Structure 1
Amino acid sequence: MDTISPCHFVIFGATGNLTTIKLLPALYHLERAGRLADALEFIALARRDWSQDDWAEHVQLALQSKLGEAFDGVIAARLIDRFTYVRGDYSQPEAYQALMEVLSRPKSGVCENIIFYLAIRPADFLNVVTHLHNAGFSGKVARHRIVVEKPFGEDLESARMLNMQLHTHFDEEQIYRIDHYLGKETVQNLIVFRFANSLIEPIWNRNYIDHVQITVAEDKGIDSRAGYFDSSGALKDMLQNHMMQLLTVMAMEPPATLDADALQDEKVKVLRSIRTIPREAVNSYAIRAQYSAGTVGNEEAVAYREEENVADDSTTETYVAAKFYIDNWRWKGVPFYLRTGKRLQEKMTSIFIRFKHPPQQLFQNTSLQNIEPNWIVLAIQPHECMHIELHAKEPGLDMNTRRIDLKAPYRDEGEASLDAYETLLLDIIDGDRSLFIRFDEVEWAWQVVDPILRHWAVADSYVHTYPAGSWGPDEATRLFDSDDQNWRNQIEQA
């Protein structure tokens, strides 16, 4: 696929939360960095009966609210000047006629490369794609690009149907499926950590690693997302997509190159190697729970079923923990434990790698006989750092040990932090698909969790609970393969 720079960037749902909170600040940062071509124009399409001045005021207020003291009015004015606001209901053909009129008179001449960003409900994707096709925008000669946000389907069957219908109008190379976790700098750094350090790769396998834990913890509840979350749950909202992406990056083989297809091929190999969970054994592989009332920090929190717009008898999980085995040469027998939940003790996204005990216990007759195994901790957010825990002898006459924690922060002091969307939007504009999700990745990720979804759909209504402000239900420890395995809740151990 050619990567001729696009002339237009159309945002559907331009007044929604995603655009306001994520896309506009990211575009502002790209404008400030000089990464947007002079010829690139933006079209904001939304239902609100706004004028161009109303849109300009909305953008300025949104950026001021997000950026605070870092807001620069000159940069904001340059970005606003790129935009044309189009009022239209994207479910109606008239909106596409209005869109066509604007696209037919670009400031910098006519081009056939347009980005369509669907910052809308996933339920409306196919409706918009069909209208784009009917309006003549899906042609495979003109290399338009269409961007869709997760979730990509609600289960395996719906994901396959969505892919089939998208492919009716667009080639796979024209479709950019966003998982914003892949745009995070610290997640991209995992690839560098894995493959740019010769001392890591030789020990990154079943011979040395005991198990891997991936934790995505949130201290907040569902806020105003009950309408979406209560029909989705933590398994679909987080584990099936974000956490599966982290797992594949951690477990994949070195790609031949950093091209999109080479990276995606290796991630798909991991997903295809994950052991199928027997339906009769789902309870041994996964556990679900809801938060009950409790205290998070200094804030009192109500139970999930007491949240606004949540049914009194809801069985939707706000917490899920699961274990997976990757049955390939590198990882055979190594459990990968994944957990995510809302209203947990603190916000944290981290990967914990625990190594095996040394093969010979040389210190069994000394005070070191119960020495703890080594860990590598890769903290993604809000902490951005790497820790390696080693053991060394304490100074003195006796054979006593102490743990040495080697710390490496991701950023040096004063280095700016970017949101994931800056990277992803720039890649969309440049035509680089390496940080996006290919259709077979979507389908295999759904296939991995499908036995859990099917079992929970017909299982009895009982769901475990955990107090808000805790680290989840006690029952989650039953997933571990041995007594010396347990959830690690802290970046640094006491």
Structure 2
Amino acid sequence: MIEGACHFVIFGSTGNLATKKLLPALYHLEQAGRLPPDLTFFAFGRREWDTAAWNAHMQEVLQKRLRNFDAALFGKFCKRFSYVRGELDNADSYQELAYRLGKTEITTPSNTIFYLAIKPTEFGEVVSNLGAVGLNKDKGKHRIVIEKPFGDDLESALMLNERLHKYFNEDQIYRIDHYMGKETVQNLIVFRFANLMIEPLWNRNFIDHVQITVAEDIGIENRADYYDRAGALRDMIQNHLMQLLTLVAMEPPAALEADAVRDEKVKVLRSIRPIPRRAIHAQALRAQYGPGHINGQGVAGYQEEPGVEANSVTETYVALKLYIDNWRWRGVPFYLRTGKRLAKQASGIALRFRQPPQQLFRETPIESIEPNWITFSIQPTETIKAELQVRLPGLEMDTRTAHLNASYRMDSEQPLDAYEALLLDVVEGDRTLFIRFDEVEWAWRVVDPILKNWSQEREFIHTYPAGSWGPPEAARLFDSEDQSWRNEF
């Protein structure tokens, strides 16, 4: 816990991320009484506003997005804010910011958070300008929060990290991945390591394969300028799905401390078997959505989206097969899948157990036994389930699947937004759920060969109709005929 008064500077304060995620999350933390009384915010933006105009904008944003907007609470909340007019590429704007920080009740900005809710291409410039006016110096506990994606490939990630470390130490850098703040994801650690009957089965002797899916029914939502350069592999696999994989596969950390947890995650990433060029088509598949229907409404294909380049081969769907070569997981395939304009919004993790070694029921009406599963639903619901086989009542020997639901939230308990948890961790200085650079680096090492291969293959990409579960060709990744994609969690 970092003691003392704290400044919180939001770069890109009028952008989509701040509007949709940061401001609602901070308001909810205020509502819950979790924000320290001496925490103040500075909204940095290019609009010709003063603090009163900013507060009016913030009120409009929150009234539109929140069902439980409270005018009295907002009055308390907006007193924390000041508006700083500036340009990200203007050195004088940072001098003004430094002056404004120093003019507050804190005589020097000794405990300041800089949140970069801006385009990744602007990270380096902002960091350099902060350093130029001395706002990087660790007079107290300065820290900088960076959104994904961290680089476009391994080389650019290394260059960006070098530029960051020119001005900030690693323990000052908070690389945020909002999936790490989701409650099901955090519950995964507790489920595994607090239950003795689970952890002994969590290995290659009992697990047949693992599936990790992040499916979206939305399209690119007017983000073609970013998405058509990034694609699903960079946008989702390299960060969100790789982080989920590390939590499923990691060994028990020595303690629930930031570096102990992150050390184990890095060991998983370093153990992922490199994909040779000749095996890329056997282990990775990309596709792009075409026209189709979502919730009964016709939607355009990716190439018809505004701002998308003609004949673009940017992938909106990726399916990937990985192997982790260590004692726990050797030989167990991990199937990762993500896509836009799929049948529904659904994110989850599913572990399928191996079949019993004895064919005990071969002379009964039971032709085959359905396998056991453990599933973690991340969204839209947050649940943990186990699937077991039980005997059907009656005279015949037959079975059906029983679902054991380990739901962890009572009806009266409200769900916590991922950003609420992560923002509070930033304020308190807890780095456990944030990404260390060696995690970023090794995740890029996994996907970089695929990116390079796809960048050279520009003539063809598989397609799938919007509203489907993706291209049928994705089934070719499975190691055996009895494996298939699971769409329910």
Q: TM-score range by the shorter chain?
A: over 0.9
Tell me the CA shift for residue 177 of structure 1.
0.4
1:196-211 equivalences in 2 (<5 Å): 196-211=194-209
- The answer to whether the 8 Å contact 1:12/1:119 transfers is yes
1:228-243 equivalences in 2 (<5 Å): 228-243=226-241
Equivalent residue for 2:7? Answer: 8
Distance 2:176 2:146 in 1: 6
1:405 aligns with 2:406: no
- The answer to whether the 8 Å contact 1:146/1:174 transfers is yes
Between 200-209 and 21-30, report the one with greater CA deviation. Answer: 21-30
1:132 aligns with 2:93: no
Between 145-154 and 361-370, report the one with greater CA deviation. Answer: 361-370
How many percent of aligned residue pairs carry the same amino acid? 60
Equivalent residue for 1:450? Answer: 448
Q: Which residue type is aligned with residue 91 of structure 1? A: D
Corresponding residue to 1:380 among 368, 378, 381 = 378
Equivalent residue for 1:394? Answer: 392
1:300-449 equivalences in 2 (<5 Å): 300-449=298-447
What are structure 1's unaligned runs of at least 5 residues?
none
Tell me the CA shift for residue 110 of structure 1.
3.9
Distance 1:364 1:58 in 2: 69
Cα distance per residue 1:212-249 (max 9 Å; x no partner)? 00110000111111110000000000011000000000
Tell me the CA shift for residue 7 of structure 1.
2.2
| 1:65 aligned counterpart, secondary structure | helix
Instruction: Give the TM-score normalised by structure 1.
Output: 0.97
Tell me the CA shift for residue 450 of structure 1.
1.0
Tell me the CA shift for residue 108 of structure 1.
4.9
| 1:264 aligned counterpart, secondary structure | helix
- The answer to whether the 8 Å contact 1:6/1:111 transfers is no
Corresponding residue to 1:93 among 91, 94, 100 = 91
Distance 1:421 1:401 in 2: 43
Segments of 4+ moved more than 6 angstroms:
none
Tell me the CA shift for residue 451 of structure 1.
1.1
- The answer to whether the 8 Å contact 1:289/1:318 transfers is yes
Equivalent residue for 1:29? Answer: 28
Tell me the CA shift for residue 369 of structure 1.
3.5
Corresponding residue to 2:165 among 167, 170, 176 = 167
> How many positions carry a matched residue from both structures?
489
Distance 1:444 1:108 in 2: 40
Change (3 A) 1:463 1:293: same
Equivalent residue for 1:18? Answer: 17
Equivalent residue for 1:151? Answer: 149
Distance 1:110 1:214 in 2: 46
Q: Which residue type is aligned with residue 274 of structure 2? A: T
Q: Which residue type is aligned with residue 311 of structure 1? A: E
Q: Which residue type is aligned with residue 87 of structure 1? A: R
Equivalent residue for 1:179? Answer: 177
Equivalent residue for 1:479? Answer: 477
Tell me the CA shift for residue 143 of structure 1.
2.7
| 1:131 aligned counterpart, secondary structure | helix
Distance 2:47 2:352 in 1: 53
- The answer to whether the 8 Å contact 1:22/1:421 transfers is yes
Instruction: Give the TM-score normalised by structure 2.
Output: 0.98
- The answer to whether the 8 Å contact 1:39/1:108 transfers is no
Cα distance per residue 1:121-163 (max 9 Å; x no partner)? 1111110111111101111344311111000000001111111
Cα distance per residue 1:87-139 (max 9 Å; x no partner)? 11021011112112211111355451111111111111110111111101111
Tell me the CA shift for residue 430 of structure 1.
0.5
Distance 2:40 2:290 in 1: 48
Distance 1:393 1:418 in 2: 38
Distance 1:463 1:29 in 2: 43
1:48 aligns with 2:47: yes
1:218 aligns with 2:229: no
| 2:452 aligned counterpart, secondary structure | helix
| 2:482 aligned counterpart, secondary structure | coil
1:469 aligns with 2:467: yes
- The answer to whether the 8 Å contact 1:5/1:429 transfers is no
Cα distance per residue 1:346-388 (max 9 Å; x no partner)? 0000111111000111111112231111111110100211121
| 1:231 aligned counterpart, secondary structure | helix
| 2:265 aligned counterpart, secondary structure | helix
- The answer to whether the 8 Å contact 1:286/1:323 transfers is yes
Tell me the CA shift for residue 460 of structure 1.
4.2
- The answer to whether the 8 Å contact 1:465/1:473 transfers is yes
Cα RMSD of the aligned pairs, angstroms, is 1.2
- The answer to whether the 8 Å contact 1:10/1:114 transfers is yes
Equivalent residue for 2:37? Answer: 38
What are structure 2's unaligned runs of at least 5 residues?
none
Q: Which residue type is aligned with residue 178 of structure 1? A: I
- The answer to whether the 8 Å contact 1:6/1:429 transfers is no
Distance 2:458 2:31 in 1: 54
Between 392-401 and 54-63, report the one with greater CA deviation. Answer: 392-401
- The answer to whether the 8 Å contact 2:110/2:138 transfers is no
Distance 1:166 1:395 in 2: 64
